[in-house]
Amino acid sequence: MSIKIKNISKTFGDFKALDHVNLEIPTGKLVAILGPSGCGKTTLLRIVAGLETPDALPGADIVFDQISAIKSPVNRRQVGFVFQHYALFRQMTVFENIAFGLRIKPRRERPSKEEINDSVHKLLDLVQLSRLGDRYPDQLSGGQRQRVALARALAIKPKVLLLDEPFGALDAQVRASLRRWLRHLHDTINVTSIFVTHDQEEALEVADEVVVMNKGVIEQSGPSNDVFRHPMTEFVMNFLGEVNIFHGRFEEDKAIFGAAPHAESEAKMLVRPHDFAILGHQNSGGIPAEVIRVLTAGPVVKIELADQLKQTLYVHLSHAEYADNPVRVLDKVYLIPKSTRIFRNGESWSGDYVI
């Protein structure tokens, strides 16, 4: 089931939470909406679910498979919604929680008792909680609760699955294992899913496609790899991972760095820490810097340096690269950017540059 989001805006008082958002989500994909808190991502998800009404604008619509759903109330939309804080029914057992959506169906659609029993047990198996059906939510761990919430949402065979920061309230280890599990689950059941997160690592690891949002608008969307490799805006590049920022200015269609920045034609060059090579001697285009700290404990070697403006720079090298060319604190070195992106007024810019 594909989802089309057309011309959706949402205003809370004076605050514009969403500003003319358009987005298409293809059938069967797992898409992450990624952005800092307050960027409107959760509001967008709630509007898709029908838990929030968008501003009445001409052409505003939510379309599930060519069928407009914007007029349907939340209980008719057949969406599975998973809340950040689980929202399990505290008065019911795990089994009853999962059975709820089936038991309240109108009589002619309602499965028989045996069928309900059957589907709940299948779902319990699917979320690997077969033996906890009799427990109450407050007897479960956070990770278990979220899996119950997921099973409950899946019980109604939703057209789309919407997850609002599903791992936000869990600790790091449970998070990591649950998101891998979610990816596997999605590969098994293949229901079109949107999940909202502020954690770029989570988005890039789990989703087929990411949608990066900022201040109520979509900055960029596309396959995770494309968005990560080719960020269109400074915000996206900055949000998707660590960056080193160099300021400069534009002069006759050339970006000049190291020179005094110029307010009107400010150039910014962003370089990821793993996109640097370190040379021990002067070479063309090298940025002179002094080593401040070297951290070798970890999957990559992290080196902290200071450039001539006393700006701190971060470089990540593989252990193999570092072994070929080790540096020590207070060494004077030259940094060669292997891959850079230049931005003009926040937008990606390509052309010649001088460091």
Shortest Cβ 183–other proteins spacing (Å): 23
- Residues linked to residue 342 through DSSP beta bridges, in sequence order: 269, 349
Shortest Cβ 80–other proteins spacing (Å): 7
The alpha carbon of 227 is separated from its chain's Cα centroid by a whole number of angstroms, namely 11
- Going by C-alpha positions, the residue among 99, 78, 98, 104 that lies closest to residue 86 is 98
Shortest Cβ 325–other proteins spacing (Å): 54
Shortest Cβ 163–other proteins spacing (Å): 12
Identify the three-state secondary structure at position 265: coil
Integer-rounded Cα Rg, in Å, for the chain is 25
Pairs from 261-268 (Cβ < 8 Å, separation ≥ 24)? 265/344, 266/344, 266/345, 267/342, 267/343, 267/344, 267/349, 267/353, 268/234, 268/342, 268/343
Report the alpha-carbon distance of residue 22 to residue 257 in Å, rounded: 36
Nearer to other proteins, 165 or 234 (CB): 165
- Which helix or strand (DSSP H or E) is residue 273 part of? none
Nearer to other proteins, 110 or 230 (CB): 110
Residues that bind other proteins (CB under 8 A): 49-51, 73-81, 83, 85, 87-91, 100-101, 104-105, 149, 152-153, 155-156
Shortest Cβ 178–other proteins spacing (Å): 19
Nearer to other proteins, 149 or 243 (CB): 149
Nearer to other proteins, 80 or 248 (CB): 80
- Residue 189 CB neighbour total at 10 angstroms: 13
Shortest Cβ 13–other proteins spacing (Å): 11
Nearer to other proteins, 164 or 209 (CB): 164
- Going by C-alpha positions, the residue among 201, 208, 154, 144 that lies closest to residue 178 is 144
Tell me how long the chain is: 355
Nearer to other proteins, 67 or 323 (CB): 67
